[in-house]
Chain A
Amino acid sequence: MKRVVVTGMGCISSLGHTCDDFTRKLMQGESGIGPITLFDTDGFRVRIAAEVKAYDELDFFPEKQLTKLDRYTQFAVLASREAVTDAGLNITGPEAERIAVVHGTGIGGQSTQDINYHRIYSQGIKRLHPFTVPKLIPSAGASWISMDLGITGPAFATTSACSSAGHAIGMGVLMLRAGIADVAVTGGSEALITFGTIKAWEGLRVMSNDTCRPFSKNRSGMVIGEGAGTLIFETLEHAKARKAKIYAELAGFGMSSDAHDMLQPLDKGAARAMRAALDDAGMTPEDIDYINAHGTGTPQNDPTETRAIHDVFGSHADNLAVSSTKSIHGHTLGAASALEAIATIHALQEQHAPPTANFLEPDPQCDLDYVPNKARPMSMSAAMSNSFAFGGLNTVLVFKTYNES
């Protein structure tokens, strides 16, 4: 089987507009969660989110183009530009046909939908902008990445709520292994902090008003975040031929479905995905040193994920460092697996486990080592990143330090 490595990373998030901002604040445990500024939260129960800050779209895109670019698409393009530049990829000639784009999103052009439907439903506006449809469709991100970067190989979007980017990465990796492409530009994007969407999330009663405290006893729910992450995956032979720098090797990828409930997670489903990823990697549980958990901070997820980890890792579970960086960058849904893959790779590179921020006190139902509040230096050669979506759609990625042999 072809080996697949990561050669470039890019992201935009509540921690800043670049990957450097993201990884620096991640390790410092400096949270991007704060009061919502994107709309007036008067009358809302939920008033906090992890917003992309100090963002002016005109700094990155010409005004004329913006009539076609939803905020989620802008983030997808910006993260991908950074990742491609970081990888030093030259996208010209026949090379462009051998590059794939697979970019996920949970919902797509949500602000376009929200604002425009508000206009026709309640403001008496009679017509919508001609580009409303191409702007809101959830494949717009993949399309714009391919157009912006001139990539002409296979391109599509994946959608599976909080696992969207995980499935995108998985599909990219499978295409590389199958020889369909040499490079995959893959990840996910989400921008859903809008009046209507947050109102809908509020109804679910899973949102915190305090902050995100994964695995902590007094956790009060999840906090929505926005942003995008893109990773450049490449066959090892292609990366070596062009002398690319290699961040890490994608060791394994696993998927499963709970076939259980749209909202309640199932430990058995999560465990199946982790086992599938280990099997794919040809690894045993003892090979894993660190897990970047799904860790949403809801009462339901955290004990379920803890049980699943115990189930898969047995006695080795007590040796693992397990953290949820959602406490720092929020739950970015369709971008989550990509941002957290970047966090996981960075952990391997720095030999530091990023912390679970905002941790106050242990919960008897959550009894693993969650790296509370402070990053920890530790030796690690392989790490796992979990994503367990609403509706029981699970993806797990395993990365390892790249070694020639």
Chain B
Amino acid sequence: MTESISREVFDILARHAELDPDKVTPSTLLQMSGVDSLLMVEIIFDLEEHFDITIPDELLGMQNQELETAADVVRLVEKLIQHKKTS
């Protein structure tokens, strides 16, 4: 994980989940932090705006298990930033 990207992602997560930014770690569980599907929609919007990326709808389904932890979100953002650079 790139240090600066994960810091920025953690800050966005902390702001929405009303957590102390220093308490967010890669293993922070989103659901345990009160991130429900609606809050996730707002977080996704901020991530897209902040990093200028597009996060596909398919990743936001109810059964989606890919975004369980803060680290999952960082990995997704990194992947999409990489994708943007190469396309």
Kindly state whether residue B62 has any CB partner on chain A within 8 Å.
Answer: yes
Kindly state whether residue B38 has any CB partner on chain A within 8 Å.
Answer: yes
How many A-B contacts if CB must be within 8 Å?
A: 21
Q: Which residues of A contact B61 (CB under 8 A)?
A: 220, 299
Cβ-closest chain A residue relative to B56: A45
Q: Which residues of B contact A220 (CB under 8 A)?
A: 57, 61
Bound-complex Cα distance A204 to B37 (A): 11
Cβ-closest chain A residue relative to B44: A205
**In the complex, how many angstroms separate the beta carbon of B83 from the nearest chain A beta carbon?**
16
Also in contact, A45 and B62, with CB within 8 A (given A204-B41, A205-B44, A264-B38): no
Also in contact, A299 and B62, with CB within 8 A (given A203-B45, A205-B44, A205-B57): yes
Kindly state whether residue B60 has any CB partner on chain A within 8 Å.
Answer: yes
Q: Which residues of B contact A205 (CB under 8 A)?
A: 41, 44, 57, 60
Bound-complex Cα distance A220 to B60 (A): 10
Q: Which residues of A contact B45 (CB under 8 A)?
A: 203
Q: Which residues of B contact A300 (CB under 8 A)?
A: 37
Q: How large is the interface on B (under 10, 10 to 19, 20 to 34, 35 or more residues)?
A: 10 to 19
Also in contact, A263 and B57, with CB within 8 A (given A203-B45, A205-B44, A299-B62): no
Q: Which residues of A contact B62 (CB under 8 A)?
A: 299
Cβ-closest chain A residue relative to B41: A205
| CB proximity to B under 8 Å, residues A235-271 | 261, 263-264
Cβ-closest chain B residue relative to A217: B63
Bound-complex Cα distance A190 to B24 (A): 44
Instruction: Provide the B25-47 mask, 1 if CB < 8 A to any CB of A, else 0.
Output: 00000000000011001001100
Kindly state whether residue A152 has any CB partner on chain B within 8 Å.
Answer: no
The listed residue with most A CB atoms (<10 A of its CB), out of B37, B44, B45, is B37
Bound-complex Cα distance A261 to B44 (A): 20
| CB proximity to A under 8 Å, residues B7-34 | none
Cβ-closest chain A residue relative to B63: A299
Q: Which residues of A contact B57 (CB under 8 A)?
A: 45, 205, 207, 209, 220-221
| CB proximity to B under 8 Å, residues A258-309 | 261, 263-264, 299-300
Q: Which residues of B contact A221 (CB under 8 A)?
A: 57
Cβ-closest chain B residue relative to A263: B38
Q: Which residues of B contact A299 (CB under 8 A)?
A: 37, 61-62
Q: Which residues of A contact B44 (CB under 8 A)?
A: 205
Instruction: Provide the A199-224 mask, 1 if CB < 8 A to any CB of B, else 0.
Output: 00001110101000000000011000
Q: Which residues of B contact A261 (CB under 8 A)?
A: 38
Cβ-closest chain A residue relative to B60: A205
The listed residue with most A CB atoms (<10 A of its CB), out of B41, B45, B57, is B57
User: Could you jot down 21 A-B contacts, CB within 8 Å?
Assistant: A45-B56, A45-B57, A203-B41, A203-B45, A204-B41, A205-B41, A205-B44, A205-B57, A205-B60, A207-B57, A209-B57, A220-B57, A220-B61, A221-B57, A261-B38, A263-B38, A264-B38, A299-B37, A299-B61, A299-B62, A300-B37
Q: Which 8 interchain pairs have the tightest Cβ spacing?
A: A299-B62, A205-B41, A263-B38, A205-B60, A45-B57, A205-B57, A264-B38, A203-B45
